[in-house]
Amino acid sequence: MSEEKKGVLDGFRQFLMRGNVIELAVAVVIGAAFTNIVNSVVKGVINPVVGAFGTQNLDHYTYCLGTCAKNASGEVTDGIHILWGSVLSASLTFLITAAVVYFLMILPMNRYKERQVARAAKSAKEAGPPPATELELLAEIRDALLAQRGGPDSERVPSQHRK
């Protein structure tokens, strides 16, 4: 295998192993599973409620622009036939799906993340101040050496050591 193909395959493997790709795949699978549930809710609950005012099948709600003529099989032959009931059904399905995903997945996950951040902040607060950096330690050593020399200028850092 050539270096270029190996590099491309390694890059593709790294792309697939990123967290975002895995999360997206999980979201698609869960979304597909919720679609069946939501379709059942729309068909079994929403449509009968709408059916109290008319037909239970939202696809039967239509509007015709102009004069619509239907043939013997019920197909529109003249005019512009608008199926607004299908759009309403799809919109209801979308809204219910979005609500279920938000309230059953996103909201609990956000609360979990907030608790994790609060725990991390609490443990960082209890741990005390962060350890000194190497530069800070070197400055302390320099100041201690200057103080050991004594004299009136021991408190002042020489100008050649300043930055």
User: Which letter, b or e, does each residue of 95-115 get, where b requires 16 or more Cβ atoms within 10 Å of its Cβ?
Assistant: ebbeeebeeeeeeeeeeeeee
The residue that leads in pLDDT, 163 or 141, is: 141
Reference 85, options 121, 51, 118; nearest CA is 51
pLDDT for position 156:
54
pLDDT tens digits for range 34-88: 778 877 877 788 778 877 877 767 777 888 887 777 777 777 677 787 888 888 8
What is the band of 163 on the pLDDT scale with cuts at 50, 70, 90?
very low
Mean pLDDT (whole number) for 92-121: 86
Reference 82, options 66, 68, 67, 62; nearest CA is 62
What percentage of the chain has pLDDT greater than the value 90?
9
| DSSP H helices in the chain | 3-17, 19-41, 47-51, 84-101, 107-127, 134-149
What is the band of 19 on the pLDDT scale with cuts at 50, 70, 90?
low
The domains located in the chain, with CATH, are 3-149 (1.10.1200.120)
To the question of pTM greater than 0.75 for the whole model, the response is no
